[in-house]
């Protein structure tokens, strides 16, 4: 779609203003899309050439062993070199890379690219001195402070594989991820701030490490100043090590193969344990660089704010790597949107002159509740583009965001993508006409289809399984240590097509509308949780014999967790027990996994082979038809 399509689009459409068109880097969307479509490798090679390679690739795309695609084969590179070192040779050396504000608003820290290089090098030297080498896994379990960015980049710089675990997860989630990755080092903090309270990160690490023998060292950053136990020989205060000569501000950047792993990030799938999604230095770098450049039109004078936590893929791709690859100035805020007052974010936009603001529907819905007076207290005129990610945005929230925050001047980029895709896949660009609730069309070089159960494309307007047809550079390479599961999960339902796990429909203008997950993944405030994880936390409670969990619509969170439990003999249902079980899940997995409600059951709907039919539970809860129940036990 271009700014003025020949045929008017159907439905509620927002066309870009002349101002937006004038500022946009890509004015002719169709032309670039056509080029990428007919020359996929040519398109991506041209993007890759804008970055620095120690040695150029021999082949852009190697698809000889599908679906284990390889990109920029033979190329030598390091993403950290392109995030930092590359800029030090230019005027960007003294440009701000990172601006940070504390939750209480009293602390501000800024880092130029020059300073970022020093901080990352110091951390890199320290973890090297702890014996971390190329290919070793490092678990990072921290709050939103600049040191989490240093830690990720320090790993990348020396070729270690980082595995960031969201600081809102608790002991079971952390322990499972450390164990699966066989990390040798954990980087954490004494604690982090969350709505004025302290989250005891180090104590959770201590708990988890009781069952993780692979970990040799724990590096602890002091943030809250709480007393925490330090195990001699294993635990080290970061500030102590910074004072040693090993913590020099110079550290060589390791030369990596384009296909060498950069990080793993655990995400919930339909069954079993969370999966370690693996991304690489070369392709991931090119994908995140290119998408941020085009979709959010990042320019040198911009101030970019992605509100995501680095513990999720959005934080990896668009808070840490993408902005630095583009030489942008990025803002990071330690806290949440409503503490101490619901204008905390608007205050930050005004204070730092944010020009592009990328957030999640759940946050927008949460802030809408407090009314327009809070944003009205602040000058938001610096904004030029807005963005949304994580779940479908309901049109009411879209319109509020557009009108109250963007003052009807700022297009909203509703970006659909996943941990697995690494980068935006279905997304508008500033010149593309918008429809509230639709991510519009696939990114350059991509094609998407909506299929029925048998693999036939459905008619426009009908719901089906969303698949992607063409490889892209930042696609996951595998599930770490489990290539069979990679094949099975993403490539087996429709051979040769990438199964997203989402259902969607396409309208007559070719716009895609995401409906939701088709698997047992629940999106709570945009965060991805697996029913299996919630259920195993529940059955670890002595009162619970069996458990099932589903997501049901929730006004703010999008989906809330509802758990159905069968008690062991000798336990009686009661509100107190329900409350205890909710708390049990929260303390094992993390507060985001706390069920809205516990429903006590005499029986759970199961197939004859004993699989719980969550679909039936969901239908019953919503008062919908139960669908095909021919496999239901009795
Ligand atoms: C799932 C991936 C990648 C960003 C954060 C989430 C849902 C994501 C959108 C959107 C509708 C969306 C999908 C997807 N989703 N963005 N703009 N519109 N749905 O990453 O945790 O891997 O979750 O989030 O269901 O499959 P994730």
SS (HEC) of 382-412: CCCEEEECCCCCCHHHHHHHHHHHCCCCCCE
Instruction: Give the tokens for residue 531.
Output: 């029913």
The span from the CA of 100 to the CA of 118, in Å, is 17
Q: How far is CA 120 from the centre of its chain?
A: 22
Output the pLDDT for position 340.
93
Q: How far is CA 319 from the centre of its chain?
A: 10
CB atoms within 10 A of CB 240: 11
Instruction: Give the tokens for residue 69.
Output: 């695609």
Task: Please compute Rg for the chain using Cα positions.
Answer: 24
Closest among 256, 263, 280 to 315, alpha carbons compared:
263
Helices (H), 223-338: 238-242, 281-295, 313-315, 322-325
Instruction: Give the tokens for residue 611.
Output: 């699989």
Q: Is 267 in the pocket of ligand 1 (CB under 6 A)?
A: yes
Output the pLDDT for position 1.
47
448: Cβ–Cβ under 8 A, 6 or more apart, which residues?
425, 426, 442, 466, 467, 468, 469, 512
Atom of ligand 1 nearest to the CA of 393: 18
Antiparallel, parallel or unpaired: β 303-306 and 329-333:
parallel
Q: Decide: residue 32, CB within 10 A, 0-12 exposed, 13-18 middle, 19+ buried.
A: middle
Kindly report the CA angle at 188 between 313 and 136, in degrees rounded to 5?
Answer: 70
Q: Is 313 in the pocket of ligand 1 (CB under 6 A)?
A: yes
Q: Is 437 in the pocket of ligand 1 (CB under 6 A)?
A: no
Q: pTM for the complete prediction?
A: 0.96
Output the pLDDT for position 336.
93
**Cβ proximity of 446 and 425 under 8 Å:** yes
Q: Is 270 in the pocket of ligand 1 (CB under 6 A)?
A: no
Residue stretches of the chain with pLDDT short of 70? 1-6, 634
Closest among 553, 544, 558, 550 to 588, alpha carbons compared:
544
Angle between helices 531-539 and 575-589 in degrees, nearest 10: 120
- CA of residue 417 to ligand 1 center, whole Å: 5
The span from the CA of 492 to the CA of 517, in Å, is 17
Q: Is 528 in the pocket of ligand 1 (CB under 6 A)?
A: yes
Task: Assign 261 to helix, strand or coil.
Answer: strand
Output the pLDDT for position 3.
52
Residue carrying the six token digits 């620095």: 52
pLDDT in tens, 205-240: 999 999 999 999 999 999 999 999 999 999 999 999
**Cβ proximity of 445 and 389 under 8 Å:** no
- CA of residue 521 to ligand 1 center, whole Å: 11
- CA of residue 363 to ligand 1 center, whole Å: 15
- CA of residue 392 to ligand 1 center, whole Å: 8
The span from the CA of 176 to the CA of 212, in Å, is 9
Query: What backbone phi and psi angles, to 5 degrees, belong to 256?
Result: -115, 155
Closest among 558, 565, 455, 472 to 515, alpha carbons compared:
558
Closest among 424, 433, 384 to 291, alpha carbons compared:
424
The DSSP result for 303-321, as a single string, is: EEEE---TTSHHHIIIIII
610: Cβ–Cβ under 8 A, 6 or more apart, which residues?
none
- CA of residue 503 to ligand 1 center, whole Å: 12
Q: Is 419 in the pocket of ligand 1 (CB under 6 A)?
A: yes
**Cβ proximity of 74 and 55 under 8 Å:** yes
Instruction: Give the tokens for residue 523.
Output: 């999106």
Antiparallel, parallel or unpaired: β 544-554 and 558-567:
antiparallel
């Amino acid at each position: 779609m271009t700014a003025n399509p020949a045929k008017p689009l159907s439905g509620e459409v927002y066309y870009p203003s002349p101002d937006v068109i004038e500022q946009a880097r890509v004015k002719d969307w169709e032309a670039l899309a056509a080029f990428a479509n007919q020359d996929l490798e040519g398109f991506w090679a041209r993007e890759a050439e804008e970055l620095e390679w120690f040695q150029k690739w021999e082949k852009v795309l190697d698809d000889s062993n599908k679906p284990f695609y390889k990109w920029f084969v033979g190329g030598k590179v390091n993403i950290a070199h392109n995030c930092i070192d590359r800029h030090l040779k230019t005027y960007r050396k003294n440009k701000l890379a990172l601006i940070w504000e504390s939750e209480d608003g009293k602390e501000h820290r800024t880092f130029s690219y020059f300073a970022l290089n020093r901080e990352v090098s110091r951390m890199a030297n320290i973890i090297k001195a702890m014996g971390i080498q190329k290919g070793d896994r490092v678990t990072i379990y921290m709050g939103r402070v600049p040191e989490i960015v240093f830690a990720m980049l320090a790993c990348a710089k020396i070729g270690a594989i980082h595995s960031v675990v969201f600081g809102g997860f608790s002991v079971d989630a952390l322990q499972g991820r450390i164990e699966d990755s066989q990390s040798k080092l954990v980087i954490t903090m004494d604690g982090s701030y969350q709505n004025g309270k302290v989250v005891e990160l180090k104590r959770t690490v201590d708990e988890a490490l009781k069952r993780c023998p692979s970990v040799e060292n724990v590096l602890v950053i002091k943030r809250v100043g709480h007393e925490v136990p330090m195990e001699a020989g294993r635990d080290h205060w970061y500030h102590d090590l910074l004072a040693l000569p090993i913590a020099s501000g110079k550290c060589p950047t390791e030369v990596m193969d384009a296909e060498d792993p950069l990080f793993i990030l655990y995400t919930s799938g339909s069954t079993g344990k969370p999966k370690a999604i693996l991304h690489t230095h070369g392709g991931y770098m090119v994908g995140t660089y290119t998408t941020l450049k085009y979709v959010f039109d990042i320019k040198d004078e911009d101030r970019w704010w992605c509100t995501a936590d680095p513990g999720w893929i959005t934080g990896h791709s668009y808070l840490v790597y993408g902005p630095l690859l583009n030489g942008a100035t990025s803002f990071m805020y330690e806290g949440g949107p409503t503490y101490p007052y619901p204008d905390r974010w608007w205050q930050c936009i005004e204070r730092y002159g944010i020009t592009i603001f990328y957030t999640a529907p759940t946050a927008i819905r949460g802030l809408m509740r407090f009314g327009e007076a809070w944003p009205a207290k602040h000058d938001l005129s610096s904004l030029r583009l807005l963005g949304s990610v994580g779940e479908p945005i309901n049109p009411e929230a879209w319109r509020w965001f557009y009108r109250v925050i963007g003052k009807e001047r700022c297009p909203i980029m509703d970006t659909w993508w996943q941990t697995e895709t690494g980068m935006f896949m279905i997304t508008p660009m500033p010149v593309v006409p918008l429809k509230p609730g639709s991510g519009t069309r696939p990114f350059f070089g991509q094609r998407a289809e909506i299929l029925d159960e048998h693999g036939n494309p459905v008619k426009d307007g009908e719901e089906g399984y969303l698949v992607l047809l063409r490889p892209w550079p930042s696609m996951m390479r595998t599930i770490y240590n489990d290539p069979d599961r990679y094949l099975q999960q993403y490539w087996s339902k429709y051979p040769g097509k990438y199964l997203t796990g989402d259902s969607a429909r396409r309208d007559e203008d070719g716009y895609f509308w995401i409906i939701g997950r088709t698997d047992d993944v629940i999106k709570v405030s945009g965060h991805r949780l697996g029913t299996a994880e919630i259920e195993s936390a529940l059955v670890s409670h002595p009162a619970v014999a069996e458990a099932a969990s589903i997501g049901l619509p929730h006004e703010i969170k999008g989906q809330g967790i509802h758990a159905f439990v069968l008690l062991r003999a000798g336990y009686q249902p009661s509100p107190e027990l329900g409350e205890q079980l909710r708390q049990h899940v929260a303390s094992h997995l993390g507060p985001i996994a706390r069920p809205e409600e516990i429903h006590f059951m005499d029986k759970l709907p199961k197939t004859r082979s004993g699989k719980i039919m969550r679909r039936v539970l969901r239908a019953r809860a919503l008062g919908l038809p139960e669908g095909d129940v021919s496999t239901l036990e009795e």
